Amino acid sequence: MTIHENELTRRKFIQATAATVAAGAFQSAVPIASADPPAAQSKPGARPVVISSANGVTAINRAMEMLKAKADVLDAVIAAVNIVEDDPEDNTVGLGGLPNEDGIVELDASVMHGPTHKAGAVAALRNIRNPSCVARLVMQRTDHVLLVGEGALHFARAHGFKEENLLTDKARRLWLKWKESLSKTDDWLESDENASEPQSRAADPMNRTWGTINCCAVNADGDMAGVTTTSGLAFKIPGRVGDSPIIGAGLYVDNAVGAAGSTGRGEANLQNCSSFAIVEFMRDGKSPTDACLGVLKRIADRTEPRLRRSDGKPDFGLSLYAVAKDGRFGSACMYKGSSFAVHDGTTSRVLDSAYLYE
């Protein structure tokens, strides 16, 4: 062996060793044993695929039916989330979504179409139960990407959307309970049937919740699209907008690589452009699951002190979802216990998400 050949062999050995060490370091930081549970394994070339947050397990059947009938991939995922937006029993989106602190439902949504790389979104939209459909029209019929508030409502009216009161009786009861339990010293009292003692003050306010549905898909030809729709943080300050209608945060699609979306604390996603980052990790060769975990680790590392628990970990929930152009899919959440829905062309099912922390 010549000196030149010996040097090349030495370099290859060093490079291989460094790669192994780097992989080991990543595995030590993330519970890889839970990152790819056997049921969540996905294989390249397994198209078409639809993935969503767990509340879309029924809706993704509709998306898959449309994909098999050769519908446009964006039309398919929007039709899927419309089912959830129309469900008054789901308090996370559309009709029945939980209101802002004034008792008014404000909805956000975004869509992105892989083949054209076009996107549309609406934020703080009132009185229209299907913001995802309005977002698609923003993409198709304007030179803009995002319309908000009164402008979004005027645009929806111009295209024939009917206004309605989105605050259902169930959502109203939850809002009133929140108002009544905010303080022991204000003038809001619980009803007799809800109070632990007649006319007592509630000891603690209700837990505030996040709620969203994300749905992304790849069809048999490898074309991709995604949609995210939400009523946002329950009892938020009027006008608050989270990550869902922001392209690159709550949703991102690159037809050459993959699609990603999110549910959970929108502010954390906004500060880290999570969906864009997931797609870029996939571009660099990470699996969908590992891309989601990598972004969660980044978010955890950058979380400000006031949002950390006593053990230093983030004090909020966050779930990320991804599908690659070749049909691989995955999801990860900040803490163990979340799940996601997927349809691989054969059946729809709910799988456990990978997680960053126990």
Look at 280 and 189; give whichever has higher pLDDT.
280
Residue range 152-179, pLDDT digits in tens: 999 999 999 999 999 999 999 999 999 9
- Under 8 Å between Cβ of 112 and 247: yes
Residue 343 belongs to some domain of the structure: yes
Is the predicted pLDDT of residue 85 greater than 80, yes or no?
yes
What's the confidence (pLDDT) of residue 185? 79
Nearest one of 291, 293, 347, 301 to 324, comparing CA atoms: 291
- Count of beta carbons in the 10 Å neighbourhood of residue 120: 27
**Between the CA of residue 269 and those of 65, 93, 111, 265, what are the distances in Å?**
31, 18, 17, 7
Residue 225 belongs to some domain of the structure: yes
- Under 8 Å between Cβ of 259 and 216: yes
Number of structural domains in the chain? 1
Range of the domain at 150: 45-167+209-357
Q: What is the DSSP string of 122-148?
A: EEEE-S-S-HHHHHHHHHHHSS-SEEE
Residue 310 belongs to some domain of the structure: yes
- Count of beta carbons in the 10 Å neighbourhood of residue 71: 14
What's the confidence (pLDDT) of residue 234? 95
Model confidence at 46, in pLDDT bands (50, 70, 90)? low
- Under 8 Å between Cβ of 41 and 328: no
- Count of beta carbons in the 10 Å neighbourhood of residue 88: 15
Is the predicted pLDDT of residue 35 greater than 50, yes or no?
no
HSE of 50, CA atoms in CB hemisphere, 13 A: 33
Average pLDDT over the chain, rounded to an integer: 87
Residue 204 belongs to some domain of the structure: no
Is the predicted pLDDT of residue 38 greater than 90, yes or no?
no
Structure token digits, residue 279: 């797609």
What's the confidence (pLDDT) of residue 202? 37
Residue 192 belongs to some domain of the structure: no
Element at 154 (helix H, strand E): helix 149-158
Which of 11-15, 184-188, 226-230, 307-311 is the least confident region? 11-15
Provide CB contacts within 8 A for 250, sequence distance 6+: 110, 212, 214, 228, 230, 242, 243, 244, 261, 262, 266, 269, 275
Structure token digits, residue 63: 């998306």
Residue 54 belongs to some domain of the structure: yes
Residue 294 belongs to some domain of the structure: yes
Amino acid at 53: S
Model confidence at 302, in pLDDT bands (50, 70, 90)? very high
Would you name the residues annotated as active-site residues?
212
Nearest one of 108, 115, 151, 149 to 130, comparing CA atoms: 108
What's the confidence (pLDDT) of residue 50? 98
SS3 of 119, please? strand
Is the predicted pLDDT of residue 300 greater than 50, yes or no?
yes
Percent over 70 (pLDDT), the chain: 82
Is the predicted pLDDT of residue 283 greater than 90, yes or no?
yes
What's the confidence (pLDDT) of residue 45? 60
Residue 60 belongs to some domain of the structure: yes
What's the confidence (pLDDT) of residue 42? 58
Is the predicted pLDDT of residue 28 greater than 70, yes or no?
no
Look at 28 and 226; give whichever has higher pLDDT.
226
The mean per-residue pLDDT over the stretch 77-104 comes to: 96
Residue range 104-128, pLDDT digits in tens: 999 999 999 999 999 999 999 999 9
What's the confidence (pLDDT) of residue 10? 46
* Phi and psi at residue 152, to the nearest 5°: -65, -40
Bond into 131 cis (ω within 30): no
Residue range 177-235, pLDDT digits in tens: 999 988 777 777 776 555 544 443 333 445 566 679 999 999 999 999 999 999 999 99
CATH code assigned at 302: 3.60.20.30
Nearest one of 93, 91, 99, 106 to 239, comparing CA atoms: 106
The mean per-residue pLDDT over the stretch 252-271 comes to: 97
Provide CB contacts within 8 A for 55, sequence distance 6+: 84, 90, 92, 213, 341
pTM for this entry:
0.84
Nearest one of 3, 229, 251 to 135, comparing CA atoms: 229
Rounded-to-integer distance, Cα 230 and Cα 115, Å: 25
